[in-house]
Amino acid sequence: MKIIDPNFLNPSISVFSNCPTCQGLIPIKRKDGILDVEERNCPHCGIQIYREEIIENLLRNVFITQAISSANQIISLDIAIFIFLSVSIFTFFYSSQFPFIHNLFIVCLAVWIFPLILCIGWLYKHGQWVSNDEEYLQAKNTIKKSTVLWITAHFFNLLLLIYKFWM
């Protein structure tokens, strides 16, 4: 969702609301120092849009944009899955040669739960919007995939630890 239009000729940031009927974007301009959210006719389908509808959709767009940017930050942690699995496998095979690394890994296990908590937190906090916004839907999908990846990685690591414990 692009609610910020980086137009260099017009440096004032524009935000958008949506028409409740046709979903067309409605730019919200600043007027006398405040956002102009007065009722108007949709520039796309011509239907009358009330002030409350303009405000509601404007806020929704802001929240969805926030959700997307938060998702992008969480997804950037996905790379840590490979580090987590590498250390997990390494300590499984070489714990006797490198007991310090093994112990450090065990001590730090809680830290590796953090990205999983973030993913689940995102789905709980940001994943509930009803929206057709492609960028939002894609972000939601990617977070779901990240959640599955992290759960799988932790499950795999748990199996290794249990196996090692019983050896």
Residue ranges that bind Zn ion, judged by CB under 5 A: 19, 21-22, 24, 42, 44-45
Closest to 131 (Cα-Cα) out of 41, 79, 59, 37: 59
> Which residue's CB is nearer to Zn ion, number 21 or number 142?
21
Closest to 83 (Cα-Cα) out of 118, 112, 116: 112
Q: Does residue 115 sit in helix, strand or coil?
A: helix
In sequence order, what are the beta bridge partners of 40?
49
Least Å distance, CB 38 to Zn ion, is 16
Least Å distance, CB 18 to Zn ion, is 8
How far apart, in whole angstroms, are the C-alpha atoms of residue 66 and residue 33?
A: 24
> Which residue's CB is nearer to Zn ion, number 49 or number 153?
49
> Which residue's CB is nearer to Zn ion, number 23 or number 138?
23
The backbone region for 98, taken as left when phi is positive above 0, alpha when psi lies in -120 to 50, beta otherwise, is: beta
> Which residue's CB is nearer to Zn ion, number 19 or number 143?
19
Least Å distance, CB 14 to Zn ion, is 18
